[in-house]
Amino acid sequence: MCGIAGIYHLQTAKPVDAARVRAMTDAIAHRGPDGADLWVAPGVGLGHRRLAIIDLAGGAQPMESSDGQAVITYNGEVYNYREVRVALQACGRRFRTNSDTEVIVEAWRQWGPDCLSRLNGMFAFAIHDRERGCLFLARDRLGVKPLHYAELSDGSVVFGSELKALLAHPLFRRAIDFSAIDDYLGLGYVPDDASIVAGVRKLPAGHYLMLRRGQGVPAPIAWWDVSFADRARGSVASLSDELAALMRSAVTDRMVSDVPLGAFLSGGVDSSSVVALMAEASPQAVKTCSIGFDHPDYDETRYAAQVAERFATDHRTRIVSSDDYGLIDRLVEAFDEPFADASALPTYRVSELAREQVTVALSGDGADEAFAGYRRYVFFRNEERVRSVLPAGLRTGLFGTLGRVYPKLDWAPQILRARSTFAELGRSSEEAYAGAVGVTAREARLALYTDRALRDLQGHRAEDRYIKAMRQAPARDPLDRAQYADLKIWLPGDILTKVDRASMAVSLEAREPLLDYRLIEFGARLPQAMRVRGATGKWLMKQAMRRYLPDDILYRRKMGFSTPISAWFRGPLAAEAQRIAQGSALIETGWFDVAALDRTVTEHRSGRIDHGRLLWQLLMLDRSLTRLFGIG
């Protein structure tokens, strides 16, 4: 696990200033505290910060291929590198180290871009190939590892693991991409391939970019996709056994490490499953860690302790304050772009705890997307049954009207909070799901914007990204299309960004075994009834794990990392909320209506309407704009 950065001159092979490459890698030193180096040749410079995990003595980067024709800088882990190495040796390739880095660069020399399909892992890398005359940038299938790039005024392309690496280049010019603000408010994060800094792009998951001198920057090329078009055949027992075997393989593959390794353990289904399989494979007690909260509504430590006792893990728990908002500035620095998933706070804390004992930690992320674990999938599937039997005109007229006139009862029991359900039933499947997965609805965003904002947006809508992904999905049914869109947008934009930035901020490598592409492809082939059955998501996965875990772990209500942000803005963060309405970076952009911001704060503080999530979004956006652009 590392940080990478580099410069490539597109037009001429003019010298690259090594000091600029070094400044870019120094900006992401937290990703690789164990070493730093760079490689410079006419027209290209590659930089690397190393967090040593495998082949501690021989894995330094940038690394040349055995024939001297290619050089790589690489962030990530390839878990099947030994098997790929054997295949390359059969082709006559020679090796000097025991690192997965050398396997990648030799695989590139042997197979070119086709090497990607042979790699099972999380990665983002750049390879300069003298013979082929190119710079090759690639990102793993699901987007576990990040890669940003931009073209500068001098005709060079700069790239790096994090946005701050690009910002360290002296020719970089900072300007706001306002459409990304709407994306952020709509989704809660700035998705791939967008950036809040104009001109910056994120290489999408499962894509590569081939840069050649004398040519412009081309569109990225997709090298992997997941299809929901086929269905697996077999009994529950046989498919359950197949799933358990795939999970076991994915976990053991990710236990390869030359440094101490452990796991996050929340006591939920996913992390508990990973720990169970680790305990089965390990001759020693697995090191596990959990974060607890001083408020019972947010604390899951009793469940984590139950799992830790069951598998005799070396378990550590740390209780933190549920009012842990003191981390805000640290998170703004770590994430660069605005990021509104408040679970980033406890994710940072559990990473911090893990790093005290280990350098690598396995997490349970990915199962909800792969096997339909979110409750929104259950709701969406139920709504689809209504849509399938009622004509579109009737639905739009009846439920659209009810969605507009039904009161917004945030305080009421779930069964009475039907406004959003009515509104979604009056829309198409794609529009409804885009609304369900969003954070701040378009109507609420428009109420905050000035006329200038509406002009700048030129009709841009955050929801359109989801709608397009669902309509173009290689899938037949609405639930399949919703999962596909989440795998392409929500997973890399929110979940994986959160884990990568929070863990790497403390120099911890997080590995996600449940995002092994073989599991993702298996989940996409499952009949819907084996993903969602009744009100139960991840149905087949829970069946497969019954041999390891008790029902009170498998079937308890999902909690996740929660934070009391609504209460914060009526208490310790009330002054911050007022500042947003009166003198913030938001107002200086000219995009936000002062009266609308003030009304939002007043309504929330009075308790009339819960605007907690929106205020959290606005606060994180305000802090990010100040840090990135010096306004406010």
72: phi then psi, degrees, rounded to nearest 5: -120, 145
- CA-to-CA dists, residue 291 to 232, 243, 358, 497, 598, angstroms: 38, 29, 16, 20, 36
* Active-site position among 2, 115, 134, 289: 2
Q: Which residues of 397-428 are buried (b: 16+ CB within 10 A; e: fewer)?
A: eebeebbeebeeeeeeeeeeebbbbbbbbbbb
175: Cβ contacts below 8 Å, ≥ 6 apart: 197, 198, 199, 629
DSSP state of 489: I
Q: Is 333 strand, coil or helix? A: helix
Alpha-carbon distance of 620 to 616, in angstroms, equals 6
- CA-to-CA dists, residue 12 to 9, 214, 332, 369, angstroms: 6, 7, 37, 44
- Closest Cα to residue 354, out of 440, 260, 252, 269? 260
Strand order, beta sheet including 207-211: 63-64, 70-78, 121-129, 134-139, 207-211, 221-222
Give the largest CA-CA distance in the chain: 73
Is residue 563 a contact partner of residue 410, using CB atoms and an 8 Å limit? no
419: Cβ contacts below 8 Å, ≥ 6 apart: 403, 406, 407, 408, 409
First to last CA, the chain: 35
Is residue 72 a contact partner of residue 105, using CB atoms and an 8 Å limit? yes
Alpha-carbon distance of 526 to 521, in angstroms, equals 9
- Is residue 91 flagged as an active site residue? no
Is residue 398 a contact partner of residue 383, using CB atoms and an 8 Å limit? no
Q: Please give the torsion angle defined by the CA atoms of residues 507, 511, 512 and 518, in that order, rounded to the nearest 10 degrees.
A: 140
Q: Is 103 strand, coil or helix? A: helix
Alpha-carbon distance of 385 to 307, in angstroms, equals 37
Whether the bond between 15 and the residue before it is cis, its omega within 30 degrees of 0, is no
Q: Is 475 strand, coil or helix? A: coil
Alpha-carbon distance of 250 to 272, in angstroms, equals 15
**DSSP assignment string, 8-40:** EESS--PPP-HHHHHHHHHTTGGG-BTEEEEEE
Is residue 314 a contact partner of residue 278, using CB atoms and an 8 Å limit? no
Alpha-carbon distance of 596 to 581, in angstroms, equals 8
How buried is 391 (Cβ within 10 angstroms: 0-12 exposed, 13-18 middle, 19+ buried)?
exposed
- Closest Cα to residue 101, out of 141, 138, 60? 60
Active site residues: 2
